[in-house]
Chain A
Amino acid sequence: MNIRLQRAVLALSVPVLALVLSVLVISLVLFLADDPIGAVWQVLRTAPAERNWANIIDKTTIYYLSGIAVAIGFRMNLFNIGVEGQFLVAALMAAFVAGEAWLPGYLNTGVAIIAAMVAGGLYAGIAGVLRAYRGVSEVISTIMLNAVAVGLTAFITRELAKSATQSNVSVVQTKLIPEESWIPNISIGDGPASEIYGFVVIAVVAGFVYWFMINRTRFGFDLRATGQSLTAAVASGINVKRMTVVAMMISGAFAGLVGLPYIFGEYHSYGSTFPAGLGFTGIAVALIGRNHPIGVALGALLFAFLDEQSNKLQIDAGVSPEIVKIMQGTILLMVVISSEVVRRYGLRLEQQHVARVLAQRDPASPPAEGVEGAERVKGVDGDGTHAATTLPATPGAVRDADDQPEEAPL
């Protein structure tokens, strides 16, 4: 089989395998909890109403942006847990800039979006600089920056609210954005409940930009190369420190978009009731989507769908809505497990393919036993002694009996 086709088939087998495994595990959980298994799957199989679809698409948009932001870091082996903090800072920045309305109409919107991305990027850049020049793990620093962001945005919001000349002090929020700078919602049916955020268009564009940047540009190549092998990246001339900072900043800039559908499509200001937790969902969504622009979209859709169905599960099937969290966790685990299993299987297939093609093409050549991946991996067995693992080497050609020397010519 053609190697690229084979890879595509393998890639598709990951979600199928994961889905089957997830259904099994979730059914088992339901069984152990004495919940109605059939009813749960029945609810999940029924198509959502139009109104629910609007909610699902809205949430998908937000989860997707968050997932893409995390995926950019993942591509370089950076674990940006700070999308949460970055999007809070950015959303506040967007609300502030748009609320001040220095420019008219959509010009104002555009500037506010850019300001949000810059704010998110700079905030993430702190972790990038710490990682690149001081060796601080970005996991630690972004977690702490999340905590800082929560406090910081709350403080600034309060300060802004004071100066926003509002009589009603119980509502802590920034100035309302003028209506001419809102991003209009798109209707997918009847009534205001069937409208989705216009920001969905920007999310699609963001997905395309992500794909193009990663796969088509030299910068994306450098980013992936650094993620795959730091040492090889250094030897190839990539400035790894700069890449770390830049990748982190771009991740933060995308994170800056996460809260904007709310700002421009729903709340039109940043206040103390602004939703939280979106950045963490992004981590799960990026993992499920294997950092692929379309995969992340599907992962976001799945999570949004399950979120939306949790009420129905409670009403129609009588199970606790928390089952949705269990489902999301299970699916995440199963995707990670199946993609690793499929990756190893695919690698083995490929090594065999290479060996076979070479054996057919050139039976007189020495067998290519040293398929390196299989050769190098060494493990430690139970006795503490060293054993090469049982990863199969895939040696090459069949012996050609006619090619042997008669007797030892010695």
Chain B
Amino acid sequence: MTQAVPHPDGASTTGGPPDDLAVQLRGIGKRFPGVIANDDINIDVRRGTIHAIVGENGAGKSTLMKILYGVQPPDSGTITINGRQLSLSSPADAIKAGVGMVFQHFMLADNLTVVENVVLGAERLHGIGRAARREIMRISDAYGLGIEPDRLVEELGVGARQRVEILKVLYRGATLIILDEPTAVLVPQEVEELFDNLRGLKQEGLSVIFISHKLDEVRAVADEITVIRRGTTVTTVTDPRSVTSRQLAELMVGAELPSPSTETSTVTDTVLLSVRDLTLPAPDGRPLLDAVSLEVHRGEVLGIAGVEGNGQAELVEAIMGMRPGVTGAIELAGVDISRSSTLDRREAGIGYIPEDRHRHGLLLDAPLWENRILGHQSRPPSSSRGLIRSRAARQDTERIIEDYDVRTPGPNVLARALSGGNQQKLIVGREMSSDPILLIASHPTRGVDVGAQAAIWDHIKTARRNGLAVLLISADLDELIGLSDRIEVILRGRLVGTFDPASVTPEQLGSAMTGATSDEGQAVTA
């Protein structure tokens, strides 16, 4: 690992850092009892560049960023920011040193205006009045952020909210901005806008650390790319154009890569799920679902593409019977289930992988075997005649752990103690365990590592071969194109177009998702 960071300037651990380095990390290590999170991390971020850090979930990126943002102190190694070696003991220290962090999940108060959100907590800098406002507009203009200062945050789209977050850290004087998975919530067009903003920051001499999974995007925007695997820096690529995404990905996982490509079609003529004119009125104006009609056949994966918040969550919950006030017909294998309870629908053969596994999929503080029962309370082997069969549930949980490669010491562990990927594999295993005829998979691989992602894709493909009908909702266009037999695009609660995944490009889908090609002809985001 001696040559891990081949740097053009020949920066070394012994000499002082060259002047053009915004951040120099040397030999950063962080141990937790029994495990090592970071080990000998070496990264140089040059001033005025965008430096990407890529790695699998769990590779140690988050720990590293927490160290750099002062949340956790490193056990070993040095942090040098703008030529000064610092020990950061809190985020306040990091902010003082000019480090700003934009989290993946926005931290904005919806009911306040943009100005109020930016000023909140930094009142001492420019007050809360005209001076603060002037400063905000100055920053916005200087970096081309296009901020509308008096809009309420709740009225803003995802992209605009992200710009507010960036403005927030700039307002606090950041010269180094860390963006954690910033594109996860954006559609392709918004991603381009974000990249333009980042290039603007770069030109003004600021440095950006960009954490991502999406290797195409990383290659498009980054000046240098550092790959982290299992807690340590594997390599730094100084010319992103010289590598392919596949090469990068293989560096990340250290092995050959899976891809979500489909096999020969297994679609049959048998309609398993038929949804007609599904409508969900909203209390104020535009319905959340507007006359949605779709069919999923035996052996078919129907993908639903859409910018988050355009009705996908409502569609899933309507089909699962979790939403009151839905009108329209839902038939499962020819049987009308539109009046059935959620439990009846599950018993009729719907497996459900929810979008938010923490809120809808798991009891985090219950052991795995109790989570195995969840949603299957009424069915063997977990229960019979109103009683819980804990031994049978434990045994069946062990089967799932085995078959679905859930990495856990056993079925008595609390769900919270597992990593996201393993939690998700448990959910997939559970939902497949009672032989469903329809699987509703909502963002099934969100926030899981590449290994678990490949495993989940495999399970979906296997199930499809065995005649399962799958309704797949995803924000990952590659996943949608790779797995689906047909893709419907949802926009503002309506299905606005059908695409053949064999011929469609992510850009075409992106346009349809934002309404750029719809009959209303106007791009609307979120």
Binding site for B on A (CB under 8 A): 3-4, 215-222, 224-225, 228-229, 231-232, 234-239, 347, 350-359, 362, 365-373, 375-376, 378, 380-390, 392-401, 403-405, 407-410
| Bound CA span A381–B72, Å | 13
Interface contact B35-A221, CB-CB below 8 Å: no
Q: Is B479 an interface residue (CB 8 A)?
A: no
> In chain B between 412 and 446, which residues have their CB closer than 8 angstroms to a CB of chain A?
412-414, 416-423
With a CB–CB cut-off of 8 A, which chain A residues contact B172?
385
With a CB–CB cut-off of 8 A, which chain A residues contact B383?
218, 221
Interface contact B363-A367, CB-CB below 8 Å: no
Q: Which of A347, A357, A369, A398 has most chain B Cβ within 10 Å?
A: A369
| Bound CA span A225–B418, Å | 19
With a CB–CB cut-off of 8 A, which chain A residues contact B58?
366-370, 395-396
Q: Which of A220, A347, A357, A366 has most chain B Cβ within 10 Å?
A: A366
| Bound CA span A402–B251, Å | 15
Q: Is B39 an interface residue (CB 8 A)?
A: yes
User: Count the A-B residue pairs with Cβ separation under 8 angstroms: how many?
Assistant: 266
Interface contact A371-B417, CB-CB below 8 Å: yes
Interface contact B342-A234, CB-CB below 8 Å: yes
With a CB–CB cut-off of 8 A, which chain B residues contact A228?
363-366
Interface contact A369-B63, CB-CB below 8 Å: yes
Question: Which of A239, A355, A358, A407 lies in contact with B3, CB distance below 8 A?
Answer: A407
Interface contact B71-A390, CB-CB below 8 Å: yes
Q: Is B33 an interface residue (CB 8 A)?
A: yes
Interface contact A405-B91, CB-CB below 8 Å: no
Question: Which of A232, A359, A395 lies in contact with B361, CB distance below 8 A?
Answer: A232
> In chain B between 75 and 116, which residues have their CB closer than 8 angstroms to a CB of chain A?
90-92, 95, 101, 103, 105, 107
Given A352-B34, A372-B420: 18 more A-B contacts, CB < 8 Å:
A237-B341, A237-B344, A237-B345, A238-B377, A352-B33, A358-B408, A367-B35, A367-B36, A367-B231, A368-B421, A369-B62, A369-B419, A371-B417, A387-B91, A393-B63, A394-B32, A399-B232, A408-B234
How many residues does chain B have at the interface if contact means C-beta atoms less than 8 Å apart?
Answer: 97
Q: Is B352 an interface residue (CB 8 A)?
A: yes
Among listed B200-208, B368-376, B463-471, B486-494, interface-contacting one: B368-376
B210 to chain A, nearest CB (A): 18
Q: Which of A215, A358, A372 has most chain B Cβ within 10 Å?
A: A372
- Known A-B contacts A403-B254, A407-B3; the reply to A362 vs B417 at CB < 8 A is no
Nearest A residue to B345, CB-CB = A237
- Known A-B contacts A236-B375, A405-B254; the reply to A390 vs B122 at CB < 8 A is no
Q: Is B286 an interface residue (CB 8 A)?
A: no
Interface contact A235-B358, CB-CB below 8 Å: no
B429 to chain A, nearest CB (A): 15
With a CB–CB cut-off of 8 A, which chain B residues contact A396?
35, 58, 419
Nearest A residue to B377, CB-CB = A218
Interface contact B388-A216, CB-CB below 8 Å: yes
Q: Is B386 an interface residue (CB 8 A)?
A: yes
With a CB–CB cut-off of 8 A, which chain A residues contact B103?
378, 386
| Bound CA span A409–B322, Å | 51
| Bound CA span A18–B383, Å | 37
Q: Which of B34, B354, B383 has most chain A Cβ within 10 Å?
A: B34
Q: List 14 A-B contacts (CB under 8 A).
A: A228-B366, A229-B364, A232-B363, A236-B375, A350-B413, A357-B409, A366-B230, A368-B58, A370-B449, A372-B416, A373-B364, A373-B416, A385-B122, A399-B230
| Bound CA span A154–B62, Å | 64
- Known A-B contacts A236-B377, A409-B247; the reply to A381 vs B32 at CB < 8 A is no
B413 to chain A, nearest CB (A): 6
Interface contact B374-A381, CB-CB below 8 Å: no
Question: Which of A220, A225, A373 lies in contact with B363, CB distance below 8 A?
Answer: A225
- Known A-B contacts A3-B412, A393-B32; the reply to A368 vs B422 at CB < 8 A is yes
Question: Which of B3, B32, B101, B361 lies in contact with A392, CB distance below 8 A?
Answer: B32
A340 to chain B, nearest CB (A): 13
- Known A-B contacts A352-B32, A354-B413; the reply to A397 vs B230 at CB < 8 A is yes
| Bound CA span A49–B452, Å | 65
Q: Which of B60, B105, B407 has most chain A Cβ within 10 Å?
A: B407
- Known A-B contacts A218-B387, A387-B71, A392-B32; the reply to A399 vs B39 at CB < 8 A is yes
- Known A-B contacts A352-B33, A388-B71, A393-B63; the reply to A216 vs B409 at CB < 8 A is no
Among listed B139-147, B235-243, B267-275, B495-503, interface-contacting one: B235-243
With a CB–CB cut-off of 8 A, which chain B residues contact A407?
3, 235
B408 to chain A, nearest CB (A): 6
Q: Is B282 an interface residue (CB 8 A)?
A: no
With a CB–CB cut-off of 8 A, which chain A residues contact B71?
387-390
Interface contact B422-A383, CB-CB below 8 Å: no
| Bound CA span A358–B35, Å | 10
Q: Is B126 an interface residue (CB 8 A)?
A: no
Nearest B residue to A359, CB-CB = B35
A144 to chain B, nearest CB (A): 28
With a CB–CB cut-off of 8 A, which chain A residues contact B328?
none
A172 to chain B, nearest CB (A): 45
A228 to chain B, nearest CB (A): 5
| Bound CA span A366–B234, Å | 14
Interface contact B417-A351, CB-CB below 8 Å: yes
With a CB–CB cut-off of 8 A, which chain A residues contact B232?
399, 404
| Bound CA span A380–B108, Å | 12
Interface contact A372-B373, CB-CB below 8 Å: no
B388 to chain A, nearest CB (A): 5
Question: Which of A4, A237, A384, A395 lies in contact with B120, CB distance below 8 A?
Answer: A384
| Bound CA span A219–B385, Å | 11
Q: Is B362 an interface residue (CB 8 A)?
A: yes
| Bound CA span A375–B449, Å | 14
| Bound CA span A71–B55, Å | 47
Q: Is B300 an interface residue (CB 8 A)?
A: no
Nearest A residue to B350, CB-CB = A237
| Bound CA span A237–B122, Å | 46
Q: Is B37 an interface residue (CB 8 A)?
A: yes
| Bound CA span A402–B59, Å | 17
Nearest B residue to A368, CB-CB = B419
- Known A-B contacts A353-B409, A383-B95; the reply to A395 vs B37 at CB < 8 A is yes
Question: Which of B69, B242, B253, B362 lies in contact with A232, CB distance below 8 A?
Answer: B362
| Bound CA span A220–B390, Å | 13
